[in-house]
């Protein structure tokens, strides 16, 4: 049921207030029969288990993409702007999967739904009835579900194909793909309670699961999202592997460093280390090698670590685990002693590279980061494929902090986000706006990327939202091109001494205050915005880029997104480039499909040139990653259009499918 209340605005967007109304599309009509369609598959959240987001389908081409029209729209009804009954807001970040002729998706309220891929008619829906009264640290979000075909069961058997989903209130659930009913032989009537022991959550929603689990070696494996910046001893960021058939726990890993010395103060009642990194973004699987690749967050707390740098050992890292045992095979750290909230936000993308001048194939992993760097690693060893240099970075920061003197910088590909900002770079629509921004920049410390948080105040560019974020990247394995959407929105960070923090109040709605209990400092944070709520840095504030992975070179980069839906006085054709959340999709015909920007469109770009070829209107913000499939001789492109309450885009509850108009066939 939809809820109404004025939308909250988290920073990455407060930049663009004044959300405008959008046209809506019709419902698909009454539910149809539980028919199995003949269709291609999109069996994993990222298309394949390695998250390439690439489709070999060829019906939609650069020549006919401008003929795409809406085929159907399905409305979930699950949207919240925040209310007394449902305090948390929603973000519809879902990417459906397509298995055995059915689309499967999950809503922000964690309802799992099966749809007919041709008509959009609902085939079944399962409501886990999550606790909507919680104050969920990361909003109400469900990015996707996971399918597993049981090799010991025949087609038609109960739970021969299982749909696994993990919920905001931290349950892992197994459903029969045919009927939507819970698998009775999985754990406790089809569900496992993932929550920490009683009393270890400070509030309901401090611990949740927002990304889909993965299945490898007969195990269903899941991470967690833990509320940031509240206390050093937050719940453990456990990663666990359960038997996919019975639900029995096979292994768990709490991301504590080697040699961790447990005490009653730093461990939970279950013996897990507290305040560890967690892994909230989607995982990837290399089934041939039996490996799961985990992108990790930073340990508590994001902006001050003080006397506990050891807990950073596995933080902000790509970690390769043996899927069968949870044993660490290798890990590669992208930020040392991370005090910038530069945790890894996106699925590691697995592909095979053939470097220029070198004939052999390399099993590669491409990891996007909030810094706008791409780390290209050998996924068997974790070694960089292109050189990475340890370079000196700014020091100082808050008293008591321990910083790394260097940070890793990839030499190739080049950075895709900006990291330079001076008072002369101040930007504004009007003279007074620009002057205000200049003074604001002058009053904060900034020595480039990795300027440490301080008591005076620090500019962070890129900021904690990226660079890249959870939408990840797409890779064309034939052309060896990666497509990356990034943002350039500067933030202001200040560490506030504890006694002063108790007296600190928000002077603007966009200010975030976090207690950081157990440290000498609280956190004050806001985006660097003008009085008109536009970024103080020059546009573009969001870009789309193509990278040649064989050479490690940038092919093109262009502004991406308009502010027309957020500030109607601006032209919908003025590509200032906006902050963006969501990811791209590539097809074999050389098309990029992406929503993500802060306007209500799904766009298609030419992979070779970056030229925009088409845009389709959405009923709400497309802060999600699209997918595609072929069914009954037509190719469809599907995206969740539900917006993102905290970033201020238009909220909704729609799943929209586009296909070519009949004359195109």
Active site residues: 341
String of DSSP letters for 335-353: SSS--S-----SPPEEEEE
User: CB-side exposure of 649: number of CA atoms within 13 Å?
Assistant: 34
Q: Which two tokens stand for residue 657?
A: 């499918």
For the chain, what is the radius of gyration of the CA atoms?
23
Q: Which two tokens stand for residue 98?
A: 């397509």
Residue 433, classified by CB atoms within 10 Å of its CB into exposed (0-12), middle (13-18) or buried (19+), is middle
Q: Are 602 and 595 in contact (CB under 8 A)?
A: yes
Distances (CA, A) of 653 to 93, 107, 311: 11, 8, 40
User: Cα–chain-centroid distance for residue 493?
Assistant: 22
From 158, 157, 195, 180, select the one nearest 105 (Cα to Cα): 180
Q: Where are the beta strands (DSSP E) in 231-273?
A: 239-243, 249-253
Q: How far apart are CA 600 and CA 616, in angstroms?
A: 8
Strands of the 112-115 sheet, one edge to the other: 97-99, 102-106, 112-115, 122-126
Q: Which two tokens stand for residue 282?
A: 């989607």
DSSP H/E element including 374: strand 374-378
Q: Are 651 and 79 in contact (CB under 8 A)?
A: yes
Q: Reduced to 3 states, what is the DSSP secondary structure of residue 424?
A: helix
Q: Are 624 and 574 in contact (CB under 8 A)?
A: no
Torsional sign, CA 95, 99, 101, 104:
negative
Q: Are 20 and 568 in contact (CB under 8 A)?
A: yes
Residue 67 bridge partners (DSSP): none
String of DSSP letters for 574-639: ------B-S-EEEETTTEEEE--BSSSEEEEEETTT--EEEEEE-SS---S--EEEEETTEEEEEE
From 326, 314, 450, 325, select the one nearest 382 (Cα to Cα): 314
Place of tokens 């291609």: 40
From 75, 70, 68, select the one nearest 31 (Cα to Cα): 75
Q: How far apart are CA 143 and CA 104, in angstroms?
A: 12
């Amino acid at each position: 049921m939809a809820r109404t209340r004025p939308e909250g605005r988290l920073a990455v967007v407060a930049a663009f207030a004044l959300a405008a109304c959008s046209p809506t599309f019709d419902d698909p009509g009454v539910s149809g029969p539980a028919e199995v369609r003949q269709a291609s598959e999109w069996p994993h959240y990222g298309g394949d288990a390695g998250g390439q987001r690439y489709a070999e389908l060829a019906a939609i081409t650069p020549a006919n993409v401008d003929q795409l029209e809406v085929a159907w729209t399905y409305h979930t009804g699950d949207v919240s702007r925040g209310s007394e009954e449902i305090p948390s807001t929603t973000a519809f970040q879902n990417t459906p999967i397509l298995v055995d002729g059915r689309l499967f998706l999950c809503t922000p309220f964690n309802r799992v739904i099966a749809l007919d891929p041709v008509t959009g008619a609902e085939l079944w829906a399962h409501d886990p009835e999550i606790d909507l009264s919680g104050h969920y640290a990361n909003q109400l979000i469900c990015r996707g579900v996971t399918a597993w075909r049981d090799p010991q069961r025949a087609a038609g058997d109960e739970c021969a194909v299982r749909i696994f989903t993990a919920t905001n209130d931290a349950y892992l659930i197994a459903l029969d793909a045919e009927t939507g009913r819970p698998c009775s032989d999985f754990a406790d009537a089809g569900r496992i309670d993932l929550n920490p022991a009683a009393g270890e959550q400070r509030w309901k929603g401090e611990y949740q699961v927002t990304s889909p689990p993965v299945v490898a070696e007969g195990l269903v494996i899941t991470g967690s999202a833990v509320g940031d910046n509240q206390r050093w001893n937050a719940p453990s960021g456990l990663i666990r592997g359960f038997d996919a058939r019975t639900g029995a726990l096979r292994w768990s890993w709490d991301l504590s460093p080697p040699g961790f010395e447990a005490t009653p103060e730093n461990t939970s009642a279950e013996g897990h280390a507290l305040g560890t990194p967690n892994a909230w973004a989607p995982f990837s699987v290399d089934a041939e090698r039996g490996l799961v690749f985990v992108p990790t967050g930073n340990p508590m707390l994001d902006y001050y670590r003080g006397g506990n740098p050891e807990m950073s050992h596995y933080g902000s890292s790509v970690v390769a685990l043996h899927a069968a045992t949870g044993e660490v095979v290798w890990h590669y750290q992208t930020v040392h002693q991370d005090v910038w909230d530069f945790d890894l936000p996106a699925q590691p993308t697995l592909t095979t590279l053939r470097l220029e001048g070198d004939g052999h194939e390399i099993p590669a992993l491409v990891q996007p980061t909030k810094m706008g760097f791409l780390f290209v690693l050998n996924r068997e060893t974790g070694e960089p494929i292109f050189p990475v240099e340890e370079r000196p970075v700014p020091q100082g920061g808050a008293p008591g902090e321990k910083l790394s003197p260097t940070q890793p910088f990839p030499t190739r590909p080049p950075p895709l986000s900006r990291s330079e900002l001076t008072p002369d770079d101040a930007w504004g629509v009007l003279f007074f706006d620009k002057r205000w921004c200049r003074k604001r920049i002058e009053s904060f410390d900034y020595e480039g990327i990795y300027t440490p948080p301080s008591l005076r105040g620090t500019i962070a560019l890129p900021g904690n939202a990226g660079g890249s974020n959870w939408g990840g990247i797409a890779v064309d394995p034939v052309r060896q091109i990666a497509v990356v959407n990034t943002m350039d929105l500067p933030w202001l960070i200040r560490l506030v001494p504890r006694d002063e923090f108790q007296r600190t109040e928000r002077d603007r709605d966009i200010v975030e205050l976090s207690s950081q209990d157990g440290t000498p400092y609280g956190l004050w944070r806001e985006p660097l915005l003008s009085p008109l709520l536009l970024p103080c840095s020059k546009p573009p504030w969001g870009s789309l880029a193509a990278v040649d992975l064989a050479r490690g070179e940038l092919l093109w980069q262009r502004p991406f997104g308009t502010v027309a839906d957020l500030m109607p006085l601006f032209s919908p054709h003025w590509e200032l480039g906006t902050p963006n959340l969501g990811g791209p999709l590539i097809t074999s015909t050389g098309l990029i499909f992406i929503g993500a920007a802060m306007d209500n469109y799904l766009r298609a770009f030419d992979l070779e040139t970056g030229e925009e070829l088409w845009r389709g209107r959405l009923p709400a913000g497309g802060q999600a990653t699209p997918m595609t499939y072929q069914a009954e001789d037509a190719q469809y492109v599907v995206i969740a259009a539900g917006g993102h309450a905290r970033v201020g885009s238009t909220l909704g509850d729609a799943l929209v499918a586009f296909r070519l108009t009949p004359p195109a066939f």
